[in-house]
Amino acid sequence: MSLKVRPTAARLSRQELAQAVARDIASGSYANLGIGQPTMVADYLTPEQNVTLHTENGMLGMGPKAAAEQVDADLINAGKVPVTELPGASYFHHADSFAMMRGGHLDVCVLGAFQVSVTGDLANWSTGEPDAIPAVGGAMDLAIGAKEVFVMMSLFARDGTPKLVQECTYPVTGLSCVTRLYTDYGIFHIVDDAGRRRPQLVEAHGLEPAEIQERLQIDLVGM
């Protein structure tokens, strides 16, 4: 299955990346957006998409960030930022909130990453450096629990090292869990290719597909 992918002129900005993720969230989904960059995706979801946002600290139907006069210390998101409540919202305790994830009730989650492997292993909770203080939060539960796991990250680290890799060198968060990878230079679907999970490039931005494959030093499906 060969896909003709024509690259756009420039790589995607962070805003365009968030927009691309938002566009791909199916209408009517229950979704969890991780802290950091994934939070931006909410800005690009349209009312017509009718997406219900879950926050790990016990809420479905989370609304936008609270304006100054709306701030309520009892109403925050996973990043501890004051948020608002939409009609149809519900509150529940932590064990229920994580049962929703683990039990496969969320349609999609969007997470950031240090690395993603060709088979969809995710590394996003620890750099493994000796002096680093690790923090995992709900990342491992989301990674294995949501039906679809979308990751958004830059394709290359600041020093140019690829972050889509043959095998993660950072400590993993979950195995074979990433379904789609959204990066500045391209969008990948991790697909089943003859019984093996492998990335397929579905959009290229600012680089030719052949150049992306060359710089990543990995085999992409259909290339």
Partner 1 sequence: MPQFAETAAEAVADVTDGATVLMGGFGNAGQPMELIDALLDSGANDLTVVNNNAGQGDAGLALLIKERRVKKIICSFPRQSDSWHFDAAFRAGEVELELVPQGNLAERLRAAGAGIGAFFTPTGYGTELAAGKETREIGGRNYVLEYPLGGDVALIKAMYADRAGNLAYRKTARNFGPVMAAAATHTVVQVEQLLPTGSLDPEAIVTPGLYVDIVTVIETRTPSAAESERHPAVRPHSQEEGVRV
Nearest approach, Cβ of residue 61 and partner 1 (Å): 12
Distance of CA 140 to the CA centre of its chain: 13
Nearest approach, Cβ of residue 172 and partner 1 (Å): 5
Which helix (H) or strand (E) is 216 found in, with range? helix 209-216
Among the options 16, 56, 85, 129, which is catalytic?
56
**Residues 132 to 161 in contact with partner 1, rule: CB under 8 A:** 133-141, 144-145
Residue 143, both tokens: 């990674």
Catalytic site includes residue 56:
yes
Q: Is 181 in the site for partner 1 (CB under 8 A)?
A: no
Q: DSSP letter at 110?
A: E
Nearest approach, Cβ of residue 216 and partner 1 (Å): 23
Q: DSSP letter at 83?
A: E
**Residues 39 to 98 in contact with partner 1, rule: CB under 8 A:** 55-59, 72-76, 80, 85, 91-95, 97-98
| Residue nearer to partner 1 on the CB measure, 68 or 132 | 132
DSSP 118-175: TT--EE-S----TTPPP--TTHHHHHHHSSEEEEEE-SB-TTS-BSEESS--SPPSBS
Distance of CA 104 to the CA centre of its chain: 16
CA neighbor of 180 nearest in space, from 21, 46, 30, 4: 21
**Residues 108 to 137 in contact with partner 1, rule: CB under 8 A:** 126, 131, 133-137
| Residue nearer to partner 1 on the CB measure, 80 or 158 | 80
For binding to partner 1 (CB under 8 A), which residues are involved? 55-59, 72-76, 80, 85, 91-95, 97-99, 101-102, 126, 131, 133-141, 144-145, 171-175
Known catalytic residues are 56
